[in-house]
A and B are shown apart, each in its own frame.
Chain A
Amino acid sequence: MLPYYHSYTNDMEVDLAFERPDNLELALDALKTRAFRVIAGGTDVFPAVQQGQLPSAFLDVTRIAGLGGITRGDGTTRIGAATTWTDIVRAELPAAFDGLKEAAREVGSVQIQNAGTIAGNLCNASPAADGVPPLLALDARVEIASAARGTRVLALSQFIQGVRKTTLAEDELVTAVLIPDQALGTRSAFEKLGSRRYLVISICMTAANILLDAQGRIAQARVAVGSCSAVAQRLPALEADLLGKRLQDVTVSTAHLSPLSPIDDVRGSGTYRLDAAQEQCKRAILRAGAV
């Protein structure tokens, strides 16, 4: 038995199981046997548990060697699944990651950023997940492993499929978020709007990654908006229109926002969200582009 491997089953009450493997193989083997709720920071799991949706089994992945931490190489920045938001805020990363860092500082509170992980935020698949727009703007991919099928990698936009819905199979575990190296000089920014300054669910949020050419024209643009659709969306029409433009000429039209379908809710009307998204896009682009 490995030092941190504990197994627990209580078949008397709610068939509650608790597994704590210390390497990936053991974790994937456990996932073969039954449905688990994977738990790392627990910041999204526990509010759900306390509302009565008690999972039958927990798989604690915090002991798995190599699942946390940020490494760079082979044209990719690899952010381990169990990397916390605080790890990201404090990591030495290129300016293209500034938007992700800004978003990381908006995830709940510092206490939550210390525990909550990047993969947890993606797997929870909330329309208001702060991590998703900046990762879309970084063209992030998700690395997934299973005992039966090995490793697969897919685009983040394909990974999250709807409200609280991902493509993750029951025997799979997200192992990392992979970011392709961004062109040198790429910069980014993140904008968030909520009813109070912190500790708030986003009404609307926008991330932009911008690269300017030597003449100050936009050479590459990726813009993503969250909380305005079931899944955060890139804005391809806007991105295309931005190419070749100088920052002072940037305009965002309602047509650019066509991938968005914001709903009316108690925090803000859909109309308001669209207005806000339009302005946020502009601000995020200008801030990302500004030297």
Chain B
Amino acid sequence: MAASAHQLRIDLTVNGTVHGIDIDPRTTLLDLLRETLDLTGTKKGCNHGQCGACTVHVNGKRVLACLTLAALCDGADVRTIEGVGTPEKLHPLQDAFIAHDGFQCGYCTSGQIMSALAALEEPWGPDDAAIKEAMSGNICRCGAYPNIVAAVQEVRKSAEGGRNA
């Protein structure tokens, strides 16, 4: 349904699928993903860039979808949690989050995993302190932090082992 007489046309790729969408220019990337594309795996926690629950990748970098105007994403390549793995075919990081119990309620988890995926590609050191800094933009009110660090470390170490092999 057209809510506004004036819409802005954008094209963007989400998880490999190209979308051409007419948007209200006020729409954030987060609301576009959730309300227009029904990709509800990305969560709204604070809508102010203060919790990290809406973390997605835009053009390969992790950003906060709630602070990203959808209009700025014309031509962008967006990756959300739905583009990482499925319940039937998990990404190794998702496996590690389950094995280490890196979540409780699960609401911040999509953002944690998108952040962790990016962090594994960013130039961080190998120690826990570096992982903690890398992951400090994602609040987990249930307090799964030590388990999140353990999950990220497991994947980091196995990737490192793979590279060294």
Q: Do chains A and B touch in the complex (CB under 8 A)?
A: yes
Instruction: Mark A residues whose CB is within 8 Å of B.
Output: 4, 6, 8-10, 12-13, 16, 18, 20, 39, 41-43, 46-47, 49-50, 54, 58, 60, 62, 86, 90, 105, 108-112, 114-115, 197-199
Measured between alpha carbons, how far is A43 from B29 in the docked complex, in Å? 13
Measured between alpha carbons, how far is A110 from B134 in the docked complex, in Å? 7
Measured between alpha carbons, how far is A111 from B123 in the docked complex, in Å? 14
Q: Which of B4-12, B101-109, B151-159 contacts A (4 or more CB under 8 A)?
A: B4-12
> Can you give 12 contacting A-B residue pairs, CB < 8 Å?
A8-B71, A10-B5, A12-B6, A20-B74, A42-B68, A46-B48, A46-B66, A105-B133, A109-B64, A111-B115, A114-B63, A115-B63
Number of A-B contacts (CB under 8 A): 102
Tell me if B6 and A115 are in contact (CB < 8 A).
no
Tell me if A10 and B6 are in contact (CB < 8 A).
yes
Chain B residue contacts of A197, Cβ below 8 A: 132, 136
Q: Which of B49, B63, B119, B133 has the most CB of A within 10 A?
A: B49
Tell me if A108 and B137 are in contact (CB < 8 A).
yes
Majority secondary structure of chain A interface residues (helix, strand, loop or mixed)? mixed
Tell me if B72 and A39 are in contact (CB < 8 A).
yes
Q: Which of B6, B122, B138 has the most CB of A within 10 A?
A: B6
Measured between alpha carbons, how far is A182 from B19 in the docked complex, in Å? 48
B4, B48, B64: which contacts A115 (Cβ < 8 A)? B64
Chain B residue contacts of A16, Cβ below 8 A: 25-26
Measured between alpha carbons, how far is A46 from B61 in the docked complex, in Å? 19
B6, B68, B133: which contacts A8 (Cβ < 8 A)? B6
* Shortest CB distance B60–A (Å): 10
A197 (CB) vs chain B CBs: closest residue:
B136
Top 3 A-B pairs ranked by shortest CB distance? A109-B137, A198-B136, A10-B6
